[in-house]
Amino acid sequence: MKISREQMAKNRQRILEIASRLFREKGFEAVGVAEVMKAAGLTHGSFYGHFSSKDDLIVQALAHAVGQRNGATLPLRAYMEEYLSPRHRDNRAGGCPISGLAADTLRQTPEARAALTDGVRTQIDWMSEKVEGPAEADRRRRAIASWSAMVGATILARAMVDPDLSKEILTETLAWIDDGPGRPTSALSEPQ
């Protein structure tokens, strides 16, 4: 039975949503095409009507996930608080694809890394517009430092078995951002 183009588009969207969640939760290597298609309620054979390979699915799922821009409608401070929260930390499958998949993407195709790069660039550009400061270069530097700290803190917090240390990593990263990344403090500056 032939399905409509509209249904094909809906099926593809469903596959991308499910794949991006499964990849964030388990990693690229731990998720097979059969698992994605089963979770989408579709046959394994129908996969190739949408994607040429698992690598193609990875690229498209990454592009889909980073394109969602969850939280980008919030004010910057609220976005940072949400990102560096235990709730986001504990929501790997629905959380940020950058913190969830950056390390796995290192071992993927150049096209997958390009999709992740586009997401990082978009995030930095958005944050650069929201960060305070008179000079564009300073705002961009603060955005890059803040975003890098947020992603790194989330990755570290997720890896901890000590819940207190995990929460402390999130809390102290937000405090460091509030103090102004890029501004050396007396504890971090070069010895005189």
CATH number at residue 37: 1.10.10.60
- Cα pseudo-dihedral 56, 153, 177, 69, rounded to 10: 30
- Average pLDDT over the chain, rounded to an integer: 90
Torsion sign (Cα): 85, 87, 91, 97: negative
**pLDDT at residue 106 in the model:** 93
Please check whether residue 41 lies inside any domain of the structure.
yes
Is 83 in the same domain as 121?
A: yes
**pLDDT at residue 1 in the model:** 61
Is 54 in the same domain as 93?
A: no
Is 114 in the same domain as 49?
A: no
Q: What is the pLDDT of residues 157-188, one digit of tens each?
A: 999 999 999 999 999 999 999 987 544 443 33
Is 112 in the same domain as 138?
A: yes
**How much is the average pLDDT of 52-58?**
97
Q: Degrees (nearest 5) of the Cα angle 99, 102, 105?
A: 150
At 101, which CATH number? 1.10.357.10
Please check whether residue 101 lies inside any domain of the structure.
yes
Please check whether residue 185 lies inside any domain of the structure.
no
Burial class of residue 22 in the structure, from the number of CB atoms within 10 Å of its CB (0-12 exposed, 13-18 middle, 19+ buried)? buried
Please check whether residue 189 lies inside any domain of the structure.
no
Q: Reply yes or no on whether the pLDDT at 78 is more than 90.
A: yes
Is 85 in the same domain as 57?
A: no
Q: Degrees (nearest 5) of the Cα angle 62, 155, 57?
A: 15
**pLDDT at residue 3 in the model:** 78
> Which of these three, 27, 47, 64, is where a domain ends?
64
**How much is the average pLDDT of 32-47?**
94
Is 13 in the same domain as 88?
A: no
| Tally of domains within the chain | 2
Is 15 in the same domain as 94?
A: no
Are 189 and 108 within 8 A, CB to CB? no
Please check whether residue 126 lies inside any domain of the structure.
yes
Give the CA distances from residue 16 to residues 40, 56, 157, in Å, rounded to whole numbers and listed in that order: 9, 11, 27
Q: What is the pLDDT of residues 113-139, one digit of tens each?
A: 999 999 999 999 999 999 888 899 999
Are 51 and 22 within 8 A, CB to CB? no
Residue from 67, 172, 151, 56 nearest 102 by CA: 151
Is 57 in the same domain as 90?
A: no
- The range of the structural domain enclosing residue 113 comes to 68-179
pTM assigned to the model: 0.86
Is 92 in the same domain as 132?
A: yes
Cβ count near 182 (within 10 Å): 12
